[in-house]
Structure 1
Amino acid sequence: MRSAYLFTSESVSEGHPDKVADQISDAIVDLFLSKDPEARVACETMTTTNRVVLAGEIRGKGIMDEAGNWAEGVREEIERTVRETVKRIGYEQEGFHWDRLDFANHLHPQSAHIAQGVDAGAEKDEGAGDQGIMFGFACDETPDLMPATLDYSHKILERMAADRHSGAAPFLEPDAKSQVTLRFENGKPAKATAIVVSTQHKPGYDQGEKQAELHAYVKQVVADVLPASLLGNETVYHINPTGSFEIGGPDGDAGITGRKIIVDTYGGAAPHGGGAFSGKDPTKVDRSAAYISRYLAKNIVAAGLATRCTIQLAYAIGVSKPLSLYVDTHGTGTVGDDAIEAAIGRIDKLGNLTPRGIRTHLGLNKPIYQRTAAYGHFGRHAEGDYFPWEKTDLVDDLKAALA
């Protein structure tokens, strides 16, 4: 690993059009899981000027039967959930308003051919919902064992959103993006060299005293989020560098579920298998196996077995056990990577890392997903509690398996 280098990660706010789509898709996942913990959901959302469109494949008791007939009242619940999600984000603009947007629902029954490969039967365990590779990552750059560039990018926008909702920053609108560039020395963050924040704003905040107020506010947020030791004369700020940003969100650019997968994971600091998370129930290993991979990597670092760890899992559709498990501690491990792989295989509570085993161990058949759909799926807390894949309760099991 190089001793000195620059690295950058970006984040986008809950009001970014792609993130609006992600949050709607995951709100639908939560709605269906609250009705049937074994529901199958693959919900895609498109957002554009005053329009939201849902499409995808679903199945579940009290939701839709195999012939495509909706249970009583569910279609109305879906539309209400969509509008409430947009309202919570804060869109009451002429070009995108929670109460006035046009809504179309094109969800339909899950393919029977997919279902037969996934459902557990009397003679087989539940199979993976699709083929693919999934990665997990952890490093010791932050207390939550996340890449620092991404962690700070997320936190800048989270703080701005909180101030917008509370009224502390009434000039802000929902759409925003951030980017943090850090200079690393000996593998550790040393200085912030560039901060980029582009935020949608009320009219008039692109010039004069109001623009100065906006710029001063953003710099104060950055100062509150980043350690003071990282900021200094070499830190260059780019705040709304293109000028005006009044038209934003789905009115300014169409949004699609699953287009911010690097923002959702590790900000480019680790590989990505390519599959999105939002809109998918946890039988889809794109989601559940990525969560267990993060869980394993985080526990490995938390156990002191490495300061940096990447995990890869691979699955085939309809096959329960993973095709491969790969551990890479990037030369920072205190034991061999192969020894860690073998230790993971000896921990019974992981259920052989089958889709059912993952869902059982992490408790994934619950309506917990809308909270994941903005500001990253990893390194975060939800309502004071860890997301289950963020727990470090496997540390003792790893140490015992290596003893």
Structure 2
Amino acid sequence: MARQNYIFTSESVSEGHPDKVCDRISDAVLDALLAEEPEARVACETFATTDRVVIGGEIGLTDKSRLREYMAGIEDIARDCIRDIGYEQEKFHWQTCEITNLLHEQSSHIAKGVDASGNKDEGAGDQGIMFGYACRETPELMPAPIHYAHQILKRLAEARKSGAEPLLGPDAKSQVSLRYENGAPVEVTQLVLSTQHIDESQTSDDIRAIVEPYIREVLPADWLTDRTEWWVNPTGTFVIGGPDGDAGLTGRKIIVDTYGGAAPHGGGAFSGKDPTKVDRSAAYAARYLAKNVVAAGLTERCTIQLSYAIGISRPLSIYVDTHGTGEVEPTAIEAAVAQVMDLTPRGIREHLQLNRPIYQRTAAYGHFGRAPEADGGFSWERTDLADALRAAI
């Protein structure tokens, strides 16, 4: 039997964290190409450090003659991202940082394996394993520690960008430790918040006075007790932040992006990858299915694993774990999910309508646990398969 009484911790990082700056730029490049051509191929990586951003990887359009035209706009895309995040520091400023674009055409060998041709259906863009997870700890069916770690930073970013808290900077990290009793979260035992600030004279106590009201807005009131330990800017001064303080790279925050360590991760990152890459699209599908399994009342917790081989359209395996909380056998759910959704790369893209410019918004505060949006953003968070799953069991 799974443990019922324990403490579990998850962390999040803000949109101004160096790695998240890179995720944002990579996904903005992806969105720009998908807006022009829904079948565009993109595998974009970004590196950021003091006064410098380097963008590399592969892109592809049906009309190859137009690639040069889009290459010319990459620098502006990166600067717009940095400006929106809020970087106007001496050594990392959206107007003055040097941007190097090393993007080039997609490998023809990879394209051959992925593209549909003749009797061959579209294949997976790579081999790999992808996991999806859902549980009843929050209304969003997400693990509570990562959900609230995200919400703290999102709320602080809103306050900073609205002008309500002008002394806060873009770079920040949060960490929430929750005590579970009888399997449910009941108390914050440790709360860590490190946020960049503008004034070197500000102390940790000064920063706590700024951020504590926003943190209390986000967390359930009875979870913060006189036993909760607060660690706000525990190193003291945090003025030098972002890529000037620490180098950033696309795809380094995969646990922050998913379930905060509460569920397995296959290893592949998401940002900068078009939806033919199953690292991204199949992870979204697995979350979508796991969330619908829980929403259907078939289990309290659900982990789903999918596996693929490059160039092969069908998933090689489907695995379901209900962690001893299921109303039906996991094998029955495995059969049902394969029945209600086409899990080929094309089937996933079409079912979730992933060939749209909806990815830049995923780059910070988690890819999961977000509300589905009118333009199709976060379509994998819908629970519209619950009835079909119940009927298929």
SS in structure 1 at match of 2:101: strand
Residue segments in structure 1 that go unaligned for 5+ positions in a row: none
Q: 1:400 aligned to 2:391?
A: yes
1: CA distance between counterparts of 2:19 and 2:252? 6
CA gap of 1:78–1:91, structure 2 versus 1, over 3 A, is: same
Residues 281 and 348 of structure 2 are in contact (CA less than 8 Å); yes or no, is this contact kept in structure 1?
A: yes
Partner of 1:95: 91
Q: What displacement does 1:71 show?
A: 3.6
Partner of 2:167: 171
Q: What displacement does 1:382 show?
A: 6.1
Partner of 2:268: 275
* Stretch deviating more after TM superposition (215-224 or 118-127): 215-224
Residues 35 and 61 of structure 1 are in contact (CA less than 8 Å); yes or no, is this contact kept in structure 2?
A: no
* Corresponding letter in the other structure for 1:19: K
| Partner residue of 1:220 out of 188, 213, 218 | 213
SS in structure 1 at match of 2:298: coil
| Partner residue of 2:108 out of 92, 107, 112 | 112
Partner of 1:300: 293
* 1:276-334 superposed Cα distances (whole Å, 9 cap, x missing partner): 00000000000000000000000000111111000000000000000000000100000
* 1:110-141 superposed Cα distances (whole Å, 9 cap, x missing partner): 11111110000121110000000000000000
Partner of 2:120: 124
Residues 61 and 67 of structure 2 are in contact (CA less than 8 Å); yes or no, is this contact kept in structure 1?
A: no
Residues 177 and 198 of structure 1 are in contact (CA less than 8 Å); yes or no, is this contact kept in structure 2?
A: yes
| Partner residue of 2:371 out of 355, 374, 381 | 381
Residues 205 and 214 of structure 1 are in contact (CA less than 8 Å); yes or no, is this contact kept in structure 2?
A: no
1: CA distance between counterparts of 2:373 and 2:84? 16
* Corresponding letter in the other structure for 2:67: W
Residue segments in structure 2 that go unaligned for 5+ positions in a row: none
2: CA distance between counterparts of 1:183 and 1:85? 37
* Corresponding letter in the other structure for 1:33: L
Q: What displacement does 1:204 show?
A: 3.2
1: CA distance between counterparts of 2:169 and 2:209? 17
CA gap of 1:244–1:382, structure 2 versus 1, over 3 A, is: farther
2: CA distance between counterparts of 1:205 and 1:184? 38
SS in structure 1 at match of 2:169: strand
SS in structure 2 at match of 1:371: helix
1: CA distance between counterparts of 2:224 and 2:350? 44
Residues 60 and 67 of structure 2 are in contact (CA less than 8 Å); yes or no, is this contact kept in structure 1?
A: no
Q: 1:231 aligned to 2:224?
A: yes
Q: What displacement does 1:147 show?
A: 0.5
Q: What displacement does 1:217 show?
A: 2.1
Q: What displacement does 1:4 show?
A: 0.6
| Partner residue of 1:338 out of 331, 350, 353 | 331
* TM-score for both structures, normalised by structure 1: 0.95
| Partner residue of 2:357 out of 348, 359, 367 | 367
SS in structure 1 at match of 2:195: strand
* 1:325-379 superposed Cα distances (whole Å, 9 cap, x missing partner): 00001000000000011111222xx22x000000000000000000000000000
Partner of 2:33: 32
* 1:168-226 superposed Cα distances (whole Å, 9 cap, x missing partner): 1111000000000000011100110000000000123533xxx5342122221221111
Residues 49 and 248 of structure 2 are in contact (CA less than 8 Å); yes or no, is this contact kept in structure 1?
A: yes
CA gap of 1:61–1:121, structure 2 versus 1, over 3 A, is: closer
* Corresponding letter in the other structure for 2:9: T
* Corresponding letter in the other structure for 2:239: E
SS in structure 2 at match of 1:176: strand
Q: 1:391 aligned to 2:359?
A: no
* Corresponding letter in the other structure for 1:332: T
1: CA distance between counterparts of 2:160 and 2:44? 29
Partner of 1:244: 237
2: CA distance between counterparts of 1:376 and 1:97? 25
Partner of 1:70: 67
Q: 1:47 aligned to 2:66?
A: no
2: CA distance between counterparts of 1:339 and 1:381? 28
1: CA distance between counterparts of 2:374 and 2:217? 21
2: CA distance between counterparts of 1:173 and 1:384? 31
1: CA distance between counterparts of 2:30 and 2:13? 22
Q: What displacement does 1:383 show?
A: 5.7
Q: What displacement does 1:79 show?
A: 1.0
2: CA distance between counterparts of 1:6 and 1:206? 32
2: CA distance between counterparts of 1:363 and 1:298? 18
- Trace 1:142-291 onto structure 2 (pairs within 5 A): 142-207=138-203, 211-291=204-284
Q: What displacement does 1:75 show?
A: 2.5
Residues 135 and 313 of structure 1 are in contact (CA less than 8 Å); yes or no, is this contact kept in structure 2?
A: yes
SS in structure 2 at match of 1:21: helix
Computed over aligned residues only, the root mean square deviation of the Cα atoms, in angstroms, reads: 1.3
Runs of 4+ in 1 over 6 A off after TM superposition: none
2: CA distance between counterparts of 1:84 and 1:342? 46
* Corresponding letter in the other structure for 2:62: K
* Corresponding letter in the other structure for 1:367: P
SS in structure 2 at match of 1:294: helix
1: CA distance between counterparts of 2:261 and 2:237? 29
Q: 1:57 aligned to 2:54?
A: no
Partner of 2:82: 86
* Stretch deviating more after TM superposition (212-221 or 40-49): 212-221
2: CA distance between counterparts of 1:49 and 1:110? 29
SS in structure 2 at match of 1:70: helix
